[in-house]
Amino acid sequence: MQLDVSDLQEFYATPLGQVVRRLLIHRIRARWRRVNGATLIGLGFPSPYLGSYRGEARRIGALMPHSQGAIVWPRDGRTLSVLVEEDRLPLPDGSVDRLLAVHCLEVAERCHPLLREMWRVLAPEGRLMLIVPNRRGVWARLDNTPFGQGRPYSRRQLESLLLDALFTPFDWGGALFVPPIGRRMLLRSVPAWERMGANVSPAFAGVIIVEARKEVVAPIGKPARGRVLRSFAPIRG
């Protein structure tokens, strides 16, 4: 099930959504500390996680699938978000250095064409980071957050998908060990939950975070391409 963009916005405006944003930004930053001079693209609903990179990346953009809908992002300055078909990304081959996919793979209409498009647009030395609901975690079993929608994955399933799409996963992690409950007292104890979960039961994280590199070999078949956009056009409506 693909969430509507308004549902995603509403979630990230809640206290629980704000905690999720801070936790995942910390995990993303731990892997991608600096992106100076790089092209950084987010796919799915990445806008909550891209803002801190705006002053660093040479180019930055948020690609949001048409089945979800798009928002104008950021609120100030030039619009850097665009509505796309998930299996026809409007980017040239090898043009992206870092690709962050969140609220994306688990709700994709077709996973394999999407991953092949990610492969196509990544530079030879590019890196892909996926954040997906963990099949073994509590968040995937409750539908009160975006991470309880779509298809959750196990590590083995993700690894198989990535290898089939000519990616090699090399860094695995997890986050969201705290239960998806927005009570103020529980949210104040989130750091303790995260530390305890990472040490005691890492397999039961709410989300799996995996970073993968592109394998530069001859692809099988020819992936469909979308029209290349020279710039990110404003989204209206």
Q: At 121, which CATH number?
A: 3.40.50.150
Whether residue 228 lies inside any domain: the answer is: no
- Using the predicted structure, report yes or no on whether residue 235 has a pLDDT greater than 60: no
Q: How confident is the model at residue 81 (pLDDT cuts 50, 70, 90)?
A: very high
Whether residue 235 lies inside any domain: the answer is: no
Domain range for 155 is 5-213
**Percentage of the residues of the chain whose pLDDT score is greater than 70:** 90
- pLDDT at position 222, please? 52
Q: Higher model confidence: residue 123 or residue 184?
A: 123
Nearest one of 46, 50, 60, 210 to 131, comparing CA atoms:
210
Q: How confident is the model at residue 224 (pLDDT cuts 50, 70, 90)?
A: low
- pLDDT at position 237, please? 38
Q: Distance of CA 183 to CAs 169, 178, 186, 188, Å?
A: 36, 11, 5, 9
Whether residue 237 lies inside any domain: the answer is: no
What value does the mean pLDDT of the chain take?
90
Whether residue 145 lies inside any domain: the answer is: yes
- Using the predicted structure, report yes or no on whether residue 218 has a pLDDT greater than 80: no
Q: Higher model confidence: residue 86 or residue 105?
A: 105
Q: Distance of CA 197 to CAs 87, 137, 206, Å?
A: 35, 11, 10
Whether residue 225 lies inside any domain: the answer is: no
Domain count, the chain: 1
- Using the predicted structure, report yes or no on whether residue 71 has a pLDDT greater than 90: yes
Structure tokens at 97: 């250095």
Whether residue 49 lies inside any domain: the answer is: yes
- Per-residue pLDDT, averaged over 67-79, amounts to 93
Whether residue 149 lies inside any domain: the answer is: yes
Whether residue 221 lies inside any domain: the answer is: no
Contacts of 124 (CB under 8 A, 6+ apart): 94, 214, 216
Q: How confident is the model at residue 232 (pLDDT cuts 50, 70, 90)?
A: very low
Q: Higher model confidence: residue 52 or residue 146?
A: 146
**Percentage of the residues of the chain whose pLDDT score is greater than 90:** 80
Q: Please state the separation of Cα 45 from the chain's center in Å.
A: 7
